[in-house]
Structure 1
Amino acid sequence: MNISDLLALLHEEFALDVPMAQQAALDAAAQPGEAAALLEPVVGYIERSVQASALVSLDGWGNFLSQVSQFTQLQMMSPDHASLQWLAGWTTPALAYLESPAQAATAQAIIAYLKACPQATDDAALSVLHAQLLVPPALTSEEAAAAQAVVEDATLEDVSLQTDDVDGGLLSAMLQDAPEQLERLMGYLDELVAGKADSARMIEAQRIAHTFKGSGNIIGLPGIGRIAHRLEDVMEWTIEQVQAGEGSNSAALQDMRHSVGILQHMVAHLQGEEAPPGGAQECLQRLIDWVNWIRQGVAAAQSPEPLAAQGAMNVVAFRADITPANSINAGQNEPQSADVQMLRVGVDRLSRVLRRATQSIVASQRVGQLVRTANDRLSAIEVSHAELARRLRELEQTVDKQVVQLRGQKESGESFDPLEMDRYDALYTLSRFVTEAVQDELELAREARNQVALAQQLIRDEDQIQREQHRDLLGARLVPVKSILPRLKRNVAQTAASTGKQAQLVVEGDNTTLDADVLTRLTEPLLHLLRNAVDHGLESTEERHMLGKNEVGTITLSFRRVGQDVELICADDGKGLDLPTIYDKAVEYGLIEQGTELSEDEMRRLILRPGFSTKGEVTEVSGRGVGMDVVNDRVSGLKGRLDIESQPYAGSRFIVRVPVSSGAVQALIVQSAQEEVALPSDQVVQALAADEVEIIPGASPVLRHLGQEYPVYPLGVWLGFEDTHTTASLAGKPAVLCRGATQTVAVIVDAVVDARELILQDVGRLARRIAGVVGGALRNDGRPMFLLDVAALERASQTTRRAGSSLALRRRMAVQRTRVLVVDDALSVRRSMEQLLEDAGYDVVTAADGFLALEVVRSRAPAIVLTDLEMPNLNGLELTKRLRELPQFMGTPIVMITSRASDKHREMAEEAGVDLYLTKPYTDATLIEHVKRLTSQDASALLV
């Protein structure tokens, strides 16, 4: 199809809605209050026309329409009668230009129309537009060369769906949008088959295929990326055929529908719902054949046999919507049959169900407590009735004696009052009646107690069922650690490139499973640990060479299950922690006094202070001191612990232990100062009764047990319930031997209450910051009870650091990160770039199209904008133009990232005001380098 044919088709399509646009403006002028609703279809019509203009390289005409669109949107917000009257005439010069493009007369007519606008116009902008309008449409050299190129045959690698090296979060993001997008694409093709699709809907279909191509390629799924790529090529040709009035090739349409079906099948497989499609390679090869026929000019005459449809398997994997690799099964301990039907459930919904199950357990415990209380009351009633019955028997005996005595008097003829005899007869009858009533009530109380005992048994059974359900739900949330490995590996490579070092990441135990929520919350600390290992731990290549080490530093990340916890160790073979420098920095920041004696463990843990850093300058990678404190805070929030080991020139080891699940924990309940608190069972070595406690007095008293001595710490003093203690005050109290920070310690308590499983509740961010508090649960009476970390309490009691952060640390932490705005309509692309840039130390915000991007920049201006070219509503070119019209964004760097590599698109981007036109594929390092260059600033100058 040549340019003349395309222009004729564009003219025909554009002319269809000209009357609508004219009438809408006139109606809006007559009804200003309805302007927004009346003009909204006009904006859509103009935007579709702008997109269509790109097909024939009518940059000037598209620019004119864009200006009309902007003016129309202004009238939607603030209608003006004169402006709306002027707006009713824009279609006349636009239609005339399509009839005679790049002619002086039609170009001048557009300029004259803009000059007649009631609002002031920019003469310089009109001059630029006039020059654009005089440029005739033409195919670029790239497009001409592409028309002759032959595409190679499809291979199995081209349709691979392997997810081993795919970031699970990015894949999940793509799969959220994919089903709905493919359904729309299939609908557009059905309309095309039926001859009902208009130009705008066909272009939208091509855009969806283009988005799919980009998502598949950026995530690393060649099967999706390449099929979508060739589908886009065939669709583009089909659109040209239809717009030229030559009709569509029915065989091509059927093959395109089949390819969309294959894509749907691929998505279902990645979601865990179906087996991989068997005809993917054949499908891709057919699309490649069509592309070659198109480029050879013989496609219209082709009618190959239709591809065979692939049957779908009726097997659905129950999975959390975190990553397709993270398929999770309800009832993991039960064998799964091959034909089992499973259900796909999102993690958010599963979390809600789990939270309700937790609430049910707590409610069941409270009901159980009420039933136990009722049972105790019934027992008390039984005792009371028994006592009452005994007293009544005594009363009966007394009455009987009195009655016998009176009857004897009567029979012996002694003086006798008949009325007195009547009174005693009545009293005797009444006592008998009361005795029988009390006995009846006692029987009722016993029956009630039996019923309560039965209810208790049912409650215990129900509680057991609820706990099993809770454990099953927790098990259903377990996902393998390997799902986040691509991001971790990229983080190491990126940090190494930024710091000029060489590093490799070795991962052990990546099949270890964790709760999905725990793994998500653990990802950020892991990224900080790895970034810290490269930037602070590893030496430069030159230093490693001088020390006789391998020039490539090694970071080992290992995972393993330890009881109900997962232990992860991040180890490097670098220089280790520089303790003297850490000490000097602590003095400089005002954390300690000069000359204060600190243990090595205390000095190592100084790096966990917010704002603490041994770096003298701030970079995007480090220097703010907001890395290791984040690690410590997140690990504490997960009810875990962080330990640090380091040897000079031998490297460092950061050991993190967190619960596999964040839902339940076994704990020992103890009492101190009339308050009940919980100690995690994995920290408890042994509970000692009061008569087993032998305190050895001294400056630092110790507890002796079975020949071993342990440091003594009163829990009440740790928690602030008591001010001081003496050796005498510790005597006669039970103790709990616990694993402390560096050794086993003896914790003195008032009483050991119980040992049971706690259903944990979120205690909030503020409570988690209290030293030693790592979680909470509800007691049977509904009151809260806190879960403690003995090691953290011990460290807090021994620290010689100053409690508050110094001004220097607060200033260092206050340094803001460079803000980057990412604009792309594909969720997976936004997530991918967001992760990449955040891992590089940038503050990232995202938007799905140009209009949303304009809303984002109003709240806070970004330092740089990264935008896609083709997007719905407002594309990248129009977004750039609008930003350049605002004074505050005239100097903001704008990078356009697209797969369109033609000179035409580059020139359009340059004219719009794009600073850098980056074509896909590109490397992460390349993008980061461009962002650094365009946002370069002396970060060290930010330090005060």
Structure 2
Amino acid sequence: MKKKPQPAPETNTANDPVAVIGQLADQSAQKHYYGLQDANLVLAEALRELRLDNEFQAGPDLLAVVMAWSTLVEKFNNTPKQAVEEMISYLRRPELKIPMADDEFNMLEQQLYSDADDAAANINEPVDEAETGADSIVPGIARQQLIDEQIAIVEQLADQAASEGLYGLQDANMLLAEALREAVNDGSAGFDVDFISVLSDWPGLLGQYRKEPKSGAAAIINFLRHPQLKMAVGEDEFAMLQEQLATEVVSESEFTQDLSGGAALEAFVVQDDKTKGNESSSPVSRAAQELVDLLLLESELVSSYLKDIAFGDRESVLNGLQQARDELGRLTNAAKAAGFEGLAQVCAHINLNMQRFLEQVDNFTSERLDLLLEWLSQIQEYLPSFNEGHAGQLVVAGLTDEHWAVPLSFEEMAAVLLKIRSESSAVGEDYETARMETATDEDVSLALPDNVNQELLELLLQELPIHTQQFSEAVQRMQSGGSEKDVDLAQRVAHTLKGSANTVGIKGIAVLTHHLEDILIACAKEQKLPGRGLANSLINASDCLEAMTEALLGSSSPPDDAKAVLQEIIDWANRIDKEGIPDSDTGESPSGIQSALGNVAETIEESAPAQVQATLVRVSATQIEDLFRLSGESIILNSQAQENTRRMKKQMQAMQVQLALLQQLGAELEQLIDLKDLTGRSFGTVGTGFDALEMDQYNELHTASRRMAEAAIDVREISLDVNKELGKMEEILDSQQRMVVDAQEVVMQTRLVSIATIAPRLQRSLRQTCRMTGKQSELTLVGENIMIDGDTLNAMVDPLMHILRNAIDHGIENEHERLVQGKPQNGQITFEFDREGNNILVRCRDDGCGLDYGAIRAAAEKQGILQPGQEVSKEELKHFIMRPNFSSRTVSTQTSGRGVGMAMVRSQIINLGGTLTLDSVQAQGMTIELRVPLPLSMTYALLTYVGRYRVAIANKGILQIVYSGVGEIVRLDDQETLLLEGNTYPAVRLMDLLHVPHNRKSQRTYSAALLVQNEDKTMAVLVDAISDGLDVVIKSLGHYIGKIPGYIGATILGDGTVTPVLDIPELLRIPARAMADGYAEQLAMDEPESMLPTILVVDDSLSQRRALEQLLTDTGYRVRLARDGIEATEILAQFIPDVVLTDLEMPRMNGIELVSHIRMHKKIRSLPVIMITSRTTQKHRQMAEKAGIDCYLTKPVRDEELLMKIQSLMELGTGKEREIA
């Protein structure tokens, strides 16, 4: 259905090129092309905004856009369907900044195609000459008005040149103006878009000429030779004009002086000397005078901030300029709202200069301050006489001064003066009307001003949800038969919203609440409650306010029906102004639609918002994320500190064992020394006259053994003390860990929001769906005070609203059917929220008719999903409604029938990692159960190994841990099954879920089984031994790694290793896991670790073994260690390494003996061997080479040399690790 025509805003087409597009809109409406009309109005509004913000020049940019668009309109008249796509593409151009969402562009495109169909039909039908002329004249009018605009500018330039004595330049301008005027008079102004753009560059050529007369003169003559100008001027005349131009040299100082003086400004304005003396200002209305007084007050505030600046105090200059700039921004908004668009444009230009002054505050001088104060005094002189013909010069006087950071250009000044003159008489008229009659797109705009006060905006965003909810509840109570208190409350809230929105500059909310307040004031004066029609309109307005609030908060797009709702409220306000509040409920509302109310679960007390507001602090999402990250890192670092403490305790225990062994060895040594038969003579003794029986004889060996024993005891005491300190440190770390965890939980609370925050959106969706379906329903929320993660709640809103709409449209019967079945008149819908572990559980119930299995089966057979007569259970049938493009409806409506509702719900819930189940009883209703996991930043996890890989299993979905010996693993129907306490659970191995090969010679029993809830069934997941259980911080896998099914993320353990965190329920939901064995066989062949070369290091020195192990591991080798030759031979009996590194001197079996052993055995005879020793003599080297050493290196060995030797031997050797049968 086509929209009714909307009148284009009245504009002055003589001086405003944008008015051309407005005229095109009017002509489109006359031909009933309402989509084309909307397109023209949208573009016109965008160009006005861009021009006001100084983002489009008044000349070149604007004229080029207008001309290009006019050409597209002409194309639409000839080949409409081809032009539609080009029009939409043109409107989407980024530089136009048209504030429309994709769905709005799509809707406009559909309307244009509808117009195109009509236009195509009209092209094929015979039409009279009048209609044909109207079609063809549209672009012609646009061109003519654009050329008229350019002629006015050129004539002003000619006057300016004459006043400066530049008569050659005056002649050039007059030639151009005459050529343009003749083209218009002859009806041959067929200039294309490119030439219009070139034509608008004429003022720039003149500016260049003033700087460089000779080259500039040539450029001017070349321009005048343009073929589309068709000038009847000979080449000799062009030559004379060029010579005259080249000789008229003006100094830069003279040009600057003239441009900044009053004479230059006078030439900008087209004045009629005969009538100037007879001009008199038109009377100004009281409303306009109030606006003028307000603007004067704002300008005085700007002046006061500037006058407080104290030069020499940099802080004073900064504060003064910033405060003045902020206040100037409010003056700009106020001027624009009052209709002083020319003044607003100049204010924006001054604001830009003040921004430059702030950026270069050290260069801000008293001359620049005087410029600002002088301009403000001119504004204060202009405002009281704004409707006088000469007053506009005061707005732009002095703006070309070189002391400005961004002086106003010549052509910009001309355009501003033309605008000020054209709007001066209209400002007073705009406010003569007590109330607007028609809503426009600008009236419902939610665009924020460029210089919006961020503090005020943040306060508004905090208050908006509270106030809009209060307003909505008060209006609903009024419709249900409330009291005068509800009218007063709604009126106060509307007044508060209006004031806040006006302060910040959000016009859409300010305009709507202004008219709402007037209506409610009228209700209060007449002491009447709104009737049914007015109450319905107020409900629509409250829904629109809530939608606007959500759009400002970024949770949804602006409401599509805002303009229609505002028009409805304006109609009511005008009607009440004339007739008063209707006496009965029979009065029809302008919309004529019956609104259905939903019950609100709880009514918020009037005092609650103030209490909540007092405790609110607005914090950016980035800061919250930083707090999460820091708290998580703190937990990780604390875990690492605890892990290091545990390792130190283990080392201390090992040291105590070694100390005990040392004490034992010391005692044995002491006993050996004390043996009387150790020696017949004491070393170093002095004759004393006593024999050994009469007195113990001690020598140096006795003394050393005693000192060693005492040192061992001292070390043991010290180790005990250190162990005690480590115990205390462990207790401190445990306490710190608890505090860090508590701190993270507190931080997590900042992201939690109450489910009640989405209640208004659900209630609004209920009312809208009831209006569209003509049914009556009530929505009850249970558990709405539960706090959950805000992102999760926002993601759940859309599925919940789909379910709500489906319940009304498909489930709830109409009023008559419900009464026949003995059900309440209004349908009952309940959303019950609950927390279940780390999941949020939502049960959506309705008391409607339930699923129609017959209709579902018929739709399935029609789509070929089922064959006629095919047996299928109700359980299978109910899942069909969640298939894409499946609908039991034969006709689609705005609310259903397209087959995307429940399919979309299921898809969105699965994307959130949740599950969806259905339960329906025919004629009794349906229950949809959603179970959605909440996001985890920290969870309890079980550590286990899968093959060689250590993984962490999140406790999500785990019901019970069953250890070996409890229950029995058997095979039933070729499926491993866990028998436990009379129940059977399908079993699956974690290794198979992750596609990890077994690599076992024989099947090994699993030491633990995890009972996991997987949607509507419980399964057993078999794992190897669970090594530990601990709280872990879950980290994202990074930007470049997408979501991996079955993996929540990764965690950093206390030893610094990164371990994946598994989501077992999600792993179980991934299909095609039965093919894991074949995939595992492939992995078994290509396991990364088995591909690494292996080196056997044999050395009796622990430090040497560790140093070589670290070097080789970091290089990319696998390393096996042996303490001597005997241990090395035992290892070589199990596998063959690629290279052997051995020491020469070792206990039990030295290096020479080890090499001889290797060369004697056939399987390892070719194994490369490198000997590393401290012996440097030729004798030792020859002995080693004789035994079969491949390379002899002496300590210390450079790392690079050793690695090069290993690499060269590996390239020649055959040592590949393999099992030995």
Larger RCO (CA under 8 A, 6+ residues apart): 1
Larger radius of gyration: 2
